[in-house]
Structure 1
């Protein structure tokens, strides 16, 4: 059971072993993810099946809708949130128990820790095999298709390194830029009253960093000191 799944899923192999005819499937083509590792899954169809929990003295049966899938897995079926809601079931993963109300009291379904561990190992091995086979196929395609692109990338990196002096690495590398080229402005409504922000204090490390950056901008002539301004905003450290 998977409380995180939004679907009830039944594997075609399980239905074949149960002798259920595929003529009973309802057509559905809406894909879903998260069941096959790294892949999109498209169901073969939907089917309604009765599901029973409990023993002869106290049992409960409800009809659940399953999306039927054709790929292989280590499970017989996956019972998701629709099943929990229909049975009003509550799981406890610590004790590997599932409890739900029945006609003669609470029905408890569980298994042994050893069996749960064996299933986990089997599932992990199956998922690892799927991922490995998929990654190997993808890697082969990538090597084949991207070999020419790798040569282009290497040539571009070499070109950029040879011409790194054309880039500006600090404010002093680009002095004298006219305001017509780049200028920060505040788009405020005409007639708005200037408001001075409350002083925001920084710790010593931040003050030192702010001072270094302001010093670079002053040295490059990007900013200048103004006394008695009408409007002030605190510096923002990014």
Structure 2
């Protein structure tokens, strides 16, 4: 997760995904930013792996400037985004093309990203809590929820709905070491 400026808008929920080969921007984000859709270059090249088991044909591509950090130490580059029509949990997803353009080095264990800036090294980080909250909201989106009870086969119960870990005190205290057999 990163906070950065895309175009002229400060976005707070941008996923930095080093495993993705695309930079993705959702039409909802594009409209909220007030960017005219006439700037989108049409494309017919589909991609796979974003929506499970299906290919996605983007609306098109758009070039937008990306700014990491603030006026005292910043870095600006222009990236090409694939604009997609479906809803996403994040404002945008930045993949490998972003890492390459900014020559950024990720540290996944500490949720940090480092790159050179105008006045030294820029370190971008997030908290595990924030990453968890975004992941939880991704799981709870309507298009990923389980089907209604009436659609479950007869004789079978629908899966239980457990409360989120944030509602359960001491998530790690519930873990028990496996018993040794002697």
TM-score, normalised to structure 2's length? 0.69
1:2 to 2:8 alignment: no
Q: Which of 136, 139, 144 is equivalent to 1:130?
A: 144
Q: Which of 39, 43, 46 is equivalent to 2:54?
A: 39
Greater gyration radius: 1
1:123-155 superposed Cα distances (whole Å, 9 cap, x missing partner):
2333x843746xxx9x9xxxxxxxxxxxxxxxx
The structure-2 alpha-carbon separation of the partners of 1:83 and 1:123, relative to structure 1 and needing over 3 Å to count, comes to: same
Number of the residue aligned with 1:55: 70
Q: Which of 94, 111, 115 is equivalent to 1:96?
A: 111
Q: Which runs of 5+ in 1 are unaligned?
A: 140-238
Number of the residue aligned with 1:224: none
Write the distance in 2 (CA, Å) between the matches of 1:93 and 1:2. 10
Write the distance in 2 (CA, Å) between the matches of 1:84 and 1:132. 35
Count of residues paired in the alignment: 136
Higher relative contact order (CA 8 A, sep 6+): 2
TM-score, normalised to structure 1's length? 0.53
Question: RMSD across aligned C-alpha pairs, in angstroms?
Answer: 2.2
| Superposed structure 1 runs of 4+ greater than 6 Å apart | none
